[in-house]
């Protein structure tokens, strides 16, 4: 392995190190996940987890990839958006590595990294990105030298909504994958069920979305005596329909013909299926990278770092502070 860019991801519950070679050849990441004993992610506890996990993960990566410091061209890290304490652990590790290896440091935008790993892995060129994760839900497209947010959640992220519903039903974090299984089991056994049988609020507001009303209504359905499986199914149908509807409108408005899915919720088979159906009906395509590159991962940070390094970008130490509210359209996009 030689001439690589190392990426450090630490925006929330995932600490991950990954690398790409100088041509963008990707390698699987080395990741550790903070799992809260109860409740949601406590930023301080997640940050402590990341601090403890970092040395072993770096060692694992160096050994497994036969990597020596002289192979490394740059160290990229997630500068934001995310949870401040978690971001600061990744930034500190990245600064130390870049200093020790005497290579440039590159602070990257986490949301943009989801786009660039998706483009790299799927070969799509100018997509609308449906970015659906725990903390974020955004519909993003490039206009000129920025990735613009065309629509987004007005309250909580779609993954967070699924996780919260699951937690209220005694299902541990992350709830999204378990809801998917319950929903699939339900519809397999009840193929004639329609959303009118278990109606929930539909959360589209112009080009934006909202999920907390849906969450409350789903919990209410349980209180009224509906079974968990059927509510999980209806919750997915409503949340995903709304999300795909906004994505379709983004395709229509921008004239783009590729929908790219990214973020942890993009692992969901039903969301992928709905996206594909919508895209096919309008002569567009819907694509997504494999699961390891949908969820937060260090490789995507390395890949965006590679593109920024190629156009001569690096982050001076004094500009390397994290920004927990960094916006997608803050980042100048001057690469292809």
Binders of Mg ion in range 120-139 (CB under 5 A): 133
The reply on whether position 265 binds ligand AMP by CB under 6 A is yes
Nearer to ligand AMP, 177 or 213 (CB): 177
Residue 175 near which of Mg ion, ligand AMP, none (CB within 5-8 Å, type-dependent): ligand AMP
Binders of ligand AMP in range 78-137 (CB under 6 A): 133-134
Residue 159 near which of ligand AMP, Mg ion, none (CB within 5-8 Å, type-dependent): ligand AMP
> Per-residue contact track with ligand AMP, 273 to 302, x per CB under 6 A?
----------------------xx------
Binders of Mg ion in range 296-315 (CB under 5 A): 296
Q: Single out the segment in contact with ligand AMP by CB under 6 A; choices: 65-73, 171-179, 202-210, 298-306.
A: 171-179
The reply on whether position 292 binds Mg ion by CB under 5 A is no
Among 127, 151, 175, 298, binds ligand AMP (CB under 6 A): 175
- Three-class DSSP labels, the chain: CCCEEEEEECCCCEEEEEEEECCCCECCCEEEECCCCCCCCCHHHHHHHHHHHHHHHHHHHHHHCCCCHHHEEEEEEEEECCCHHHHHHHHHHHHHHHHHHCCCEEEEEHHHHHHHHHHHHHCCCCCEEEEECCCCEEEEEEECCEEEEEEEECCCCHHHHHHHHHHHCCCCCCHHHHHHHHHHHHHHHCCCCCHHHCCCCCCEECCEECCHHHHHHHHHHHHCCCCHHHHHHHHHHHHHHHHHHHHHHHHHHHCCCEEEEECHHHHCHHHHHHHHHHHHHCCCEEECCCHHHHCCCHHHHHHHHHHHHHCCCCCCHHHCCCCCCCCHHHCCCCCC
Total residues binding Mg ion (CB under 5 A): 2
Among 203, 243, 268, 331, binds ligand AMP (CB under 6 A): 268
Q: Which residues make up the interface to ligand AMP (CB under 6 A)?
A: 12, 14, 133-134, 159, 162-163, 174-177, 180, 263-265, 267-268, 295-296
Q: Which residues make up the interface to Mg ion (CB under 5 A)?
A: 133, 296
């Amino acid at each position: 392995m030689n001439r690589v860019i190392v990426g450090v991801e630490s925006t929330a519950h995932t600490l991950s190190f990954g690398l790409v070679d100088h041509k963008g050849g990707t390698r699987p990441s080395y990741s550790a996940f903070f799992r809260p004993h109860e409740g949601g992610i406590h930023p301080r506890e997640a940050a402590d987890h990341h601090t403890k996990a970092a040395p072993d993960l770096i060692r694992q990566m160096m050994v497994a990839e036969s990597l020596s410091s002289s192979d490394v061209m740059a160290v990229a890290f997630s500068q934001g958006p995310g949870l401040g304490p978690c971001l600061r652990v990744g930034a500190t590790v990245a600064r130390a590595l870049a200093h020790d290896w005497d290579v440039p440091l590159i602070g990257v935008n986490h949301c943009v990294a989801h786009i660039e790993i998706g483009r790299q892995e799927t070969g799509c060129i100018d997509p609308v990105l449906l970015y659906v994760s725990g903390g974020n839900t955004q519909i993003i497209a490039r206009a000129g030298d920025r990735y613009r947010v065309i629509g987004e959640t007005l309250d909580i992220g779609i993954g967070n909504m699924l996780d919260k519903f699951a937690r209220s039903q005694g299902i541990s974090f992350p709830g999204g994958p378990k809801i998917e299984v319950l929903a699939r089991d339900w519809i397999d056994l009840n193929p004639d069920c329609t959303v009118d049988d278990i109606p929930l609020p539909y959360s589209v507001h112009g080009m934006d979305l909202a999920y907390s009303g849906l969450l409350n209504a789903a919990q209410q359905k349980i209180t009224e005596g509906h079974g968990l499986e059927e509510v999980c199914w209806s919750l997915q149908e409503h949340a995903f329909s709304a999300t795909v509807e906004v994505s379709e409108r983004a395709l229509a408005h921008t004239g783009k013909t590729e929908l790219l899915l990214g973020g942890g919720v993009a692992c969901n088979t039903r969301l992928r299926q709905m996206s594909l159906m919508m895209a096919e009906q309008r002569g567009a395509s819907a694509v997504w990278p494999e699961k390891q590159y949908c969820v937060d991962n260090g490789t995507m940070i390395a890949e965006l770092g590679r593109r920024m390094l190629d156009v001569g970008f690096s982050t001076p130490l004094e500009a390397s502070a994290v920004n927990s509210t960094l916006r997608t359209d803050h980042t100048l996009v001057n690469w292809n």
